[in-house]
């Protein structure tokens, strides 16, 4: 599954990052790398973006970009 | 000793600004990096006049994909400062050290300052600084920028380090195959460069960084040659080169963290977490957001802010500056045109600039508090979904909201938006929202031609919002607004109490930049309009029209009758402004507005004077439709001239006065804003071409909107104008194509000169 489908409150582990170039680089620069555990904290009031905890800090990611992050339950 | 430069580098939200302020005190220079709107700050280190601190933009990485990162890495590789002071947020060590691992590869002496030490201690966490120093091969100190502890020591260390020139030797090694490839790349490409710089370039070439490839001017053969090495690694590690490097950096950091950091509490909620639970809660977030926005609006634009502006405009600007200076100059016996220039031109112009300042300062104070405490990032989080469709940022909400009061602070409020593209889009569209000064225009038109119907002013807001949405969607698809190719991934920093000195400093910096940069434009244009309004030719004599009209030998009865005949009014209604240069310009340009239904000189002149301030449109109507606007019966909406306005609109539009008046209103609401707002646009774009584009775009959009409304309006009442309707349909067709047919493409590469 992708990060977009992960439910709020769940912990997931990054399996693979799809995509290339700037988008992928930016996501990885922020610390979302293979094997990393992510906590899905909440969804914004209007349904997008979502807030996650990664490497001990909070990050807001758009659902469209979450589709590129393949995860599995941690 | 030679002068030295220390670059201050770190992630956004790591306390860099606070540290910079603590290091430099008041000796700061704020500007912009050449050609971009990224802010550039320099300052002299306190107590060391020979040490300059350069504040780099807050960055997460040295990738080539965002403007801030490119600006920072160009500075580091080209200027090569004598030392880097890398500030690291100790409460967020992992991600902060990611930048550090890249900085130490540059071959520049580096000092790592671990910030927020007080918070770390309070949490009960322990960071082993000696171990960290060993792992990074550079000096590590601990500071608390906010409390000021350790700052002096850190500065002294950095100066000593810069003088010693001790460069760190990167301790981190990538896996064998990658190191092998990097070594090979070093040998074939950057062998001539100083040894300490080679590794950084080689790693960038391994990542296929196009900006570095171009900078080094590598031939295609060399690129193809090293491509073999890169591909071999990619095949072996089953990932692309950039990702290999990023992943391994983070793996390395994870291993350092294991030995350097001991966390006390695991999984327990911090105060910031608890606040965030409520503030961005799915149900409570929107009401809280609305309440905070109402508060900001109420304080800045409500009774208090309006009082400040009115007081500065009427008392300080009007009575003291304009009238006071006039009395003074007249007592000196200066000639009347000089008094006019000094008092009505320059002093009134200065007053117009200063008039905005108190209200702006209040707004900037509130914005600084929102930014400093961490709520601004949450605004972007909450509003992102709506605004990004129109190429705007969630943070564009504040400029638009404030814009309903006044466009000047609205445009200035766009400063909080990080992305250059979103900021430019916000600046271009904010003035479409009807501001307070446009209300009298709406009142005038509604009163004069629509019997005061309420829907007229409601429609004005809908048209404003529609203009923003249509412009946003259209412009987003143009090449100009391609922006950063990187996606929107935003850190939500921990909440903390705002620091008083940071907030005040930010307020003052923004306020001052308005006075300095916007002020000159406002002043200059006020003088020009004053001159155009005051001077003209009366009966063959050039001079100040007011004076010439007082001389019966020049303004003879015969001459006044000829003016009356020319302008189609009775001789009693002739007034000096009918002979001003501005009236001449109005006459010349009136035909331009014919397709919009108001190709008559009076509305044309009023449109031009509206550039000084939008409420001027109404008082110009007062003068041109022959009413003494100083009289007590005069009101904001100009009700005494409603009958004359209606008669004139009906006559020049052949009985379609309502349609023409509505088109006139739309044009005036959407076209170039007042000079003060244009000055603010110029300041915030920080680029003449972009400011000209924004203002030009507004005028073209306003013209197109007026044209469509008038021509379609005529067609629906059966007075179809064949050429006009073709033009209107063409405009609609173009807009439809841009909105629904043309595809949106994300930028692939960041274009920076």
Report all structural domains of chain A as residue ranges with CATH numbers, in order of start.
3-73 (2.30.30.90)
Picking from B179, B84, B175, the residue whose alpha carbon sits closest to that of residue B136 is: B84
Nearest to B242 among A25, A34, A62 (CB): A25
- B98 contacts A31? CB cut-off 8 A: yes
pLDDT in tens, B437-454: 898 899 999 999 998 888
For residue B276, list chain A residues with Cβ-Cβ distance below 8 A: 58
What pLDDT score was predicted for residue B334?
Answer: 82
For residue A51, list chain B residues with Cβ-Cβ distance below 8 A: 280, 381, 492
Q: HSE, CB side, 13 Å, CA atoms: give it for residue B425.
A: 34
Average pLDDT taken over every residue of chain B: 88
What pLDDT score was predicted for residue B486?
Answer: 67
Q: Is residue A49 within 8 angstroms of chain B, CB to CB?
A: yes
- B488 contacts A28? CB cut-off 8 A: no
Q: Is residue A48 within 8 angstroms of chain B, CB to CB?
A: yes
Under 8 Å between Cβ of B360 and B378: no
Residue B222 CA: distances (Å) to CA of B200, B212, B213, B214, B566:
18, 13, 10, 12, 78
Chain B residue with minimal CA distance to A31? B95
Under 8 Å between Cβ of A41 and A8: yes
Q: Is residue A7 within 8 angstroms of chain B, CB to CB?
A: no
- B386 contacts A22? CB cut-off 8 A: no
Nearest to B490 among A22, A25, A60 (CB): A60
Q: Is residue A10 within 8 angstroms of chain B, CB to CB?
A: no
CA distance A29 to chain B (A): 6
Nearest to B489 among A17, A26, A55 (CB): A26
For residue B491, list chain A residues with Cβ-Cβ distance below 8 A: 30, 57-60
- B250 contacts A36? CB cut-off 8 A: yes
DSSP 8-state assignment for residue B128: -
How far apart CA B668 and CA B614 sit, in angstroms, is: 8
Q: Where are the beta strands (DSSP E) in B128-228?
A: 139-142
Nearest to B491 among A21, A59, A65 (CB): A59
Q: Which two tokens stand for residue B214?
A: 């171009």
What pLDDT score was predicted for residue B753?
Answer: 47
Is the N-terminal amide bond of A49 cis, ω within 30° of 0?
yes
Q: Looking at this predicted complex, what is its ipTM? A: 0.96
pLDDT in tens, B123-135: 888 999 999 999 9
Chosen from A26, A54, A65 to mutate, greatest number of chain B CBs within 10 A: A26
For residue B386, list chain A residues with Cβ-Cβ distance below 8 A: 46
- B382 contacts A48? CB cut-off 8 A: no
Q: Which two tokens stand for residue B570?
A: 């009775």
What pLDDT score was predicted for residue B242?
Answer: 92
Q: Is residue A13 within 8 angstroms of chain B, CB to CB?
A: no
B334-342 contacts at long range (C-beta below 8 A, 24 or more positions apart): B336/B544, B336/B547, B337/B534, B337/B543, B337/B544, B340/B530, B340/B534, B340/B544, B341/B527, B341/B530, B341/B531
Q: Is residue A57 within 8 angstroms of chain B, CB to CB?
A: yes
End-to-end CA distance of chain A: 12
Coil/strand/helix, residue B473: helix
Residue with tokens 């990932």: B239
How far apart CA B115 and CA B132 sit, in angstroms, is: 14
Reported pTM: 0.84
- A27 contacts B487? CB cut-off 8 A: yes
pLDDT in tens, A37-66: 999 999 999 998 999 999 989 999 999 899
Q: Which two tokens stand for residue B276?
A: 């965030």
How far apart CA B356 and CA B361 sit, in angstroms, is: 9
Under 8 Å between Cβ of B73 and B61: no
What pLDDT score was predicted for residue B470?
Answer: 95
Which of the residues in chain B have pLDDT under 70? 1, 32-37, 265-268, 484-486, 629, 632, 746-753
Nearest to B485 among A22, A57, A60 (CB): A22
Q: Is residue A55 within 8 angstroms of chain B, CB to CB?
A: yes
Coil/strand/helix, residue A62: coil
What pLDDT score was predicted for residue B751?
Answer: 61
Nearest to B489 among A21, A27, A36 (CB): A27
- A49 contacts B487? CB cut-off 8 A: no
Picking from B84, B103, B100, the residue whose alpha carbon sits closest to that of residue B158 is: B84
How far apart CA B380 and CA B741 sit, in angstroms, is: 29
């Amino acid at each position: 599954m992708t990060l977009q489908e992960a439910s709020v409150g769940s912990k997931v582990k990054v399996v693979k990052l799809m995509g290339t170039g700037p988008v992928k680089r930016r996501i990885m620069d922020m610390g979302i790398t293979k094997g990393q555990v992510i906590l899905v904290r909440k969804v914004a009031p209007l349904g997008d973006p979502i807030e996650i905890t990664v490497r001990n800090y909070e990050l807001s990611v758009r659902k469209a970009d979450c589709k590129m992050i393949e995860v599995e339950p941690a | 000793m030679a002068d030295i430069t220390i670059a201050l580098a770190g992630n956004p939200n790591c306390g860099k600004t606070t540290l910079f302020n603590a290091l430099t005190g008041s000796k700061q220079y704020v500007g912009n990096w050449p050609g971009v709107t990224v802010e550039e700050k320099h300052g002299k280190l306190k107590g060391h006049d020979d040490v300059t601190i350069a504040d780099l933009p807050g960055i997460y990485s040295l990738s080539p994909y965002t403007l801030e990162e490119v600006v920072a890495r160009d500075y580091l590789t080209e200027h090569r400062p004598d030392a880097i002071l890398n500030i690291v947020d100790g409460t967020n060590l992992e991600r902060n050290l990611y930048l550090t691992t890249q900085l130490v590869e540059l071959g520049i002496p580096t000092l790592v300052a671990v910030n927020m030490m007080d918070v770390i201690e309070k949490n009960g966490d322990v960071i082993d600084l000696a171990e960290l120093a060993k792992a990074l091969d550079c000096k590590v100190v601990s500071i608390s920028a906010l409390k000021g502890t350790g700052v002096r020591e850190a500065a002294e260390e950095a100066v000593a380090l810069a003088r010693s020139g001790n460069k760190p030797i990167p301790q981190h090694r990538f896996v064998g195959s990658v190191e092998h490839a990097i070594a090979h790349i070093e040998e074939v490409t950057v062998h001539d460069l100083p040894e300490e710089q080679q590794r950084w370039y080689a790693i960038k070439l391994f990542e296929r960084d196009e900006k570095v490839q171009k900078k080094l001017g590598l031939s295609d053969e060399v690129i193809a040659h090293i491509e073999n090495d890169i591909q071999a690694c990619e095949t072996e590690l089953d990932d692309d080169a950039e990702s290999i490097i990023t992943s391994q950096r983070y793996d390395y950091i994870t291993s350092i963290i294991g030995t350097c950091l001991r966390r006390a509490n695991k999984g327990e909620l911090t105060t910031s977490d608890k606040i965030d639970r409520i503030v961005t809660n799915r149900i409570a977030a929107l009401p809280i957001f609305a309440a905070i926005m109402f508060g900001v609006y109420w304080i800045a634009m409500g009774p208090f802010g309006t009082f400040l502006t009115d007081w500065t405009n009427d008392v300080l600007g009007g009575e003291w500056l304009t009238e006071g200076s006039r009395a003074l100059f007249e007592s000196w016996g200066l000639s009347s045109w000089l008094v006019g220039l000094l008092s009505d031109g320059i002093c009134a112009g200065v007053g117009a600039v200063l008039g905005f300042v108190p209200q702006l300062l209040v707004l900037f104070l509130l914005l600084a508090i929102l930014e400093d405490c961490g709520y601004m990032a949450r605004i972007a989080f909450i509003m992102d979904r709506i605004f990004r469709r129109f190429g705007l940022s969630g943070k564009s909400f504040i400029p638009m909201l404030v814009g309903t009061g006044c466009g000047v602070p609205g445009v200035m409020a766009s400063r909080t938006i990080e992305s250059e593209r979103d900021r430019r889009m916000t600046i271009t569209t904010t003035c479409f929202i009807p501001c307070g000064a446009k209300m009298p225009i709406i009142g005038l038109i509604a009163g004069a031609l629509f019997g005061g119907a309420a829907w007229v002013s409601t429609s004005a807001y809908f048209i404003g919002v529609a203009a923003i949405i249509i412009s946003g969607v259209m412009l987003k698809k143009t090449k100009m607004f391609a922006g950063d190719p990187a996606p929107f991934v935003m850190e939500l920093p921990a909440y903390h109490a705002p620091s008083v000195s940071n907030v005040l400093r930010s307020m003052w910096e923004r306020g001052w930049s308005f006075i300095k940069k916007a002020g000159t434009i406002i002043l200059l244009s006020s003088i020009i309009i004053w001159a155009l309004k005051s001077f003209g030719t009366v009966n063959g004599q050039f001079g100040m029209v007011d004076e010439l009209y007082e001389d019966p030998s020049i303004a003879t009865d015969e001459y006044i009758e000829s003016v009356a005949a020319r302008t189609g009014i009775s001789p009693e209604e002739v007034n000096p402004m009918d002979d001003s240069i501005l009236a001449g310009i109005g006459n010349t340009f009136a035909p331009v507005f014919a397709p919009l239904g108001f190709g008559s000189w009076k509305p044309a002149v009023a449109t031009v004077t509206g550039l000084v301030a939008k409420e001027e449109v109404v008082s110009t109507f007062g003068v041109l439709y022959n009413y003494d606007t100083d009289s007590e019966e005069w009101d904001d909406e100009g009700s005494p001239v409603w009958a004359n306005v209606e008669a004139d609109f009906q006559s020049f539009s052949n009985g379609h006065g309502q349609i023409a008046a509505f088109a006139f209103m739309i044009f005036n609401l959407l076209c170039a804003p007042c000079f003060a707002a244009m000055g603010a646009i110029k300041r915030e774009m920080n680029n003449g071409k972009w400011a000209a584009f924004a203002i030009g775009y507004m005028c073209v959009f306003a013209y197109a909107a007026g044209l469509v409304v008038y021509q379609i309006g005529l067609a629906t009442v059966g007075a179809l104008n064949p050429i006009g309707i073709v033009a209107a349909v063409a405009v609609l067709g173009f807009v439809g194509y841009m909105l629904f047919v043309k595809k949106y493409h994300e930028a692939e590469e960041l274009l920076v000169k």
